[in-house]
A and B are shown apart, each in its own frame.
Chain A
């Protein structure tokens, strides 16, 4: 069994190595035709001369050699226009994105002609190896039960070298994905066939991200099923979150594109889906007939009615632990790191400031966007509304949600984004705290203050603080993952929905002490 695990690990490492180093095994040849099809007319007119000089006809070993030349020329040209104040000539596309389309179409050679082989070697090996690594645990871990042995004795889960390596790897990946997508040309090529199959177009970087996201969640989901197989609630919510990711976040939006409809993730509610009210999105929806109008209507209903009503009945968990994709990744890929969330009072104070700050930022940014949409004015109080959107997209959408949100898993726990950054979580949190039937009960006086619940709370809630006093846990940040209840060795904690009355009891009497009760 252990040998099987070791072989699995080796296969996994081979897979991920091939995936990671695929940019080093390609070759690229730019032709004038590629420029013609890849660039817009304006871009071609502006850049073809220089690009023909510097790129066409040559073979390159690395995608970045092409993209850096392209981005450089693009920016030089734009500066030239700007200095001459020829504003109508300036090009407003994202040069990185354009560079990616060039590098993708200029890929040639063994790699580019054997994409399926490399897909199997990278994705296939990665998944196969991981599954081979997880499956033997059914037997190795012994009978079903809580399996947290050695978490604090392993460098991978106790902030050791391996954890820091994963930390750096994830951060690196997100930076390339968001800001230097051309570097990922060869990885994106891997999923081209799948993309053509699903939506009829070559893969974009977001398609690669979607495939990776689903693959990682499904694979790590297998681990969840094995680890928590004693616990029905964990199995339920893992299944739910996998379903919503694969169906709602991935397949449906891709198929919508295939049928020439606006793409939409129907479960992604504003303000997490921060670009929903941007003018280009609203325009796009309004120009797409009945389905577009429905999507617009749905998006509004989702945020204003469905989210609060469900949160009233079930608490935040229905979204954050059963449906959401960010939560889904945190609960699968992030589960081995859940213990690293900071439980101090200081962290809690910081959390309240920053997460509500992001919510305010999201509301202001969206308000400004709507102002622009309705009035066609680009400035509000002297500030360009597009620059607010851009700032939000960069700071919150890319850096916070992606680079920090996922990259920080191995060191700071798996819900950094959900706890400190997600504006939707802040919104639902306010509902959960003040108007909801959800609470975690603490079964009177049974707590032995062991600390398992607090340690494994991914949201950094000091669950024990309440449990040892016999107080219900009613906290804005609780995502109802149920792990505190699962790891509690004394069966103290229980996630419940019930009448709002008596939900919050400040100074309960610990059960068992009749003397105190009588003397009240």
Chain B
């Protein structure tokens, strides 16, 4: 029987494993270093805020893996020998594979800021990051600075504010998530952030992090020369594929692991899915080569499972969609809405009196063809748009 080995037990790797099991009797091994069992990264914030315990973020009970004969190894893969189809692990014995699926996810970006490795400076991606955050805030802090205004940044802000730690939020753009959201949308969110007492500084970048005598962060300096005292710096300026351990191997890499539409890498029987994968050319022309979201990881996992089980399948995602929650405001997007209307495009924007509920539609000026929608504080139906 063929040995299928998956590195990474995140949503993409686990979805692949589950679907391979549904379709076949192949041996499945999942190797991952972060945690023994699959957990939902998207729920990290809720653990810190006390909505859930860590075990609640694990979608499957421990018996599930045994029952479905999915062999779990908690270890770190140090190198891959693609010729001999073998993996060397940090602690355990080498593992042989017939087919290998790389689902190794991302890591937080660090842009070489002075002081970025000081104590009290951290990203938010892994379970270990969460533990570190608990450690960093266990005695309470007077202020935190968050650098980089995206989805993880605002989640981190919400987490810290839940414990009444004041937050200063540095955003490079003119407005929050301004490279994605149109002006009014972004303003709606910023009003809501102000309501939650986030001290938002737009058009501000981090220049330097200053240590105290113990090598702990004491303050930061912005590009405007302002010094802000803080005991915690959250680096949330995006993520990038977690491929350092694959550098200097025969694997074809760019920012991520390069793949074709069948999710195949340049190595035989080796696939890459999820956050770490980068399409040489995305099968859909309106999509980006790297899409680091939960949903795409899940779709790639399901797709690759077909291929591995002998039913070769190209990745063919439907329309783009995404969702998030900005404090109390739920956001959903469907299709494409850019921060500025395209040349042949018009936007329709409506918001209610409270300024907390809004819709934006993007459509073609002439043909009135629908391009995409953003909603805030309203729940829309997915099926309706797929049709």
Contact = CB atoms under 8 A, between A and B. Distances in A.
A345 B321 CA distance: 33
Interface in A129-163: 142-146, 148-154
A146 B328 contact: yes
A516 to B, nearest CB: 6
Contact of A490 (B56, B298, B313, B323): B323
Interface in A145-202: 145-146, 148-154
Contacts, number: 136
A220 B386 CA distance: 43
B315 interface: yes
Contact of A151 (B43, B51, B57, B321): B51
A114 interface: no
Contacts of A455: 51-52, 56
Nearest to B38: A449
Interface range on chain B: under 10, 10 to 19, 20 to 34, or 35 or more?
Answer: 35 or more
B43 A519 contact: no
B50 interface: yes
B2 interface: no
B335 to A, nearest CB: 12
Nearest to A465: B59
Interface stretch (B24-32, B177-185, B248-256, B377-385): B377-385
Given A449-B11, A449-B42, A510-B302, A145 B327 contact: yes
Given A142-B196, A491-B323, A512-B299, A448 B40 contact: yes
A344 B58 CA distance: 12
Contacts of B63: 345
B36 interface: no
Contact of A143 (B195, B316, B323): B195
Nearest to A154: B50
B59 A489 contact: no
Nearest to B195: A143
Contact of A450 (B46, B314, B315, B327): B46
B205 interface: no
Given A148-B50, A149-B49, A452-B43, A513 B316 contact: yes
B208 interface: no
Interface in B308-341: 311, 313-319, 321, 323, 325, 327-328, 330, 332
B330 A491 contact: yes
Contact of B386 (A149, A444, A448, A451): A444
Contact of B53 (A142, A152, A452, A512): A152
B386 A511 contact: yes
Contacts of B56: 451, 454-455
B303 interface: yes
A451 B330 CA distance: 17
Contact of B382 (A443, A487, A517): A443
Given A446-B321, A452-B51, A512-B299, A145 B328 contact: yes
B295 interface: yes
Given A149-B162, A512-B318, A519-B306, A443 B195 contact: no
Interface string B3-35: 000000001000000000000000000000000
Interface string A338-359: 0000001100000000000000
B315 A515 contact: yes
B61 interface: yes
Interface residues of A, number: 44
B383 A511 contact: yes
Nearest to B159: A149
Contacts of A33: none
Contacts of A143: 192, 195-196, 327-328
A468 interface: yes
A449 B40 contact: yes
A519 B307 CA distance: 12
B370 interface: no
Interface in A470-520: 487, 489-491, 494, 510-519
Given A452-B43, A513-B318, A149 B325 contact: no
A464 B298 CA distance: 15
B294 interface: yes
Contacts of A387: none
Nearest to A443: B382
B40 A450 contact: yes
B381 A443 contact: yes
B46 A519 contact: no
Contacts of B323: 446, 448, 490-491
A515 B40 contact: no
A445 interface: yes
A143, A146, A451 pick with most chain B CB within 10 angstroms: A451
Nearest to B61: A344
Nearest to A493: B379
A450 B63 CA distance: 20
A37 interface: no
A145 B326 CA distance: 11
Given A445-B382, A513-B316, A150 B52 contact: no
A230 interface: yes
Contacts of B49: 148-150
B140 to A, nearest CB: 14
Contacts of B58: 451
A491 B51 CA distance: 17
A519 B305 CA distance: 13
B230 to A, nearest CB: 22
Contacts of B46: 450-452
A214 to B, nearest CB: 31
B379 A230 contact: no
Interface-central residue, A452, A515, A517, by most chain B CB under 10 Å? A515
A178 B227 CA distance: 67
A491 B327 contact: no
A154 B319 CA distance: 43
Q: Which of B162, B323, B327, B330 has the most CB of A within 10 A?
A: B323
Contacts of B319: 512
Nearest to B19: A516
B42 A448 contact: yes
A451 B57 contact: yes
B52 A451 contact: yes
B53 to A, nearest CB: 5
Interface string A421-458: 00000000000000000000001111011111011000
B361 to A, nearest CB: 18
6 contacts: A146-B328, A152-B52, A152-B53, A443-B382, A448-B42, A490-B325
Given A450-B42, A451-B58, A455-B52, 13 more contacts: A142-B195, A149-B50, A152-B50, A152-B52, A446-B321, A448-B294, A449-B43, A450-B46, A491-B379, A512-B319, A513-B302, A515-B299, A516-B302
Closest A-B pairs by Cβ, 10 of them: A145-B328, A515-B316, A444-B382, A491-B379, A450-B43, A153-B50, A150-B50, A448-B42, A489-B325, A148-B51
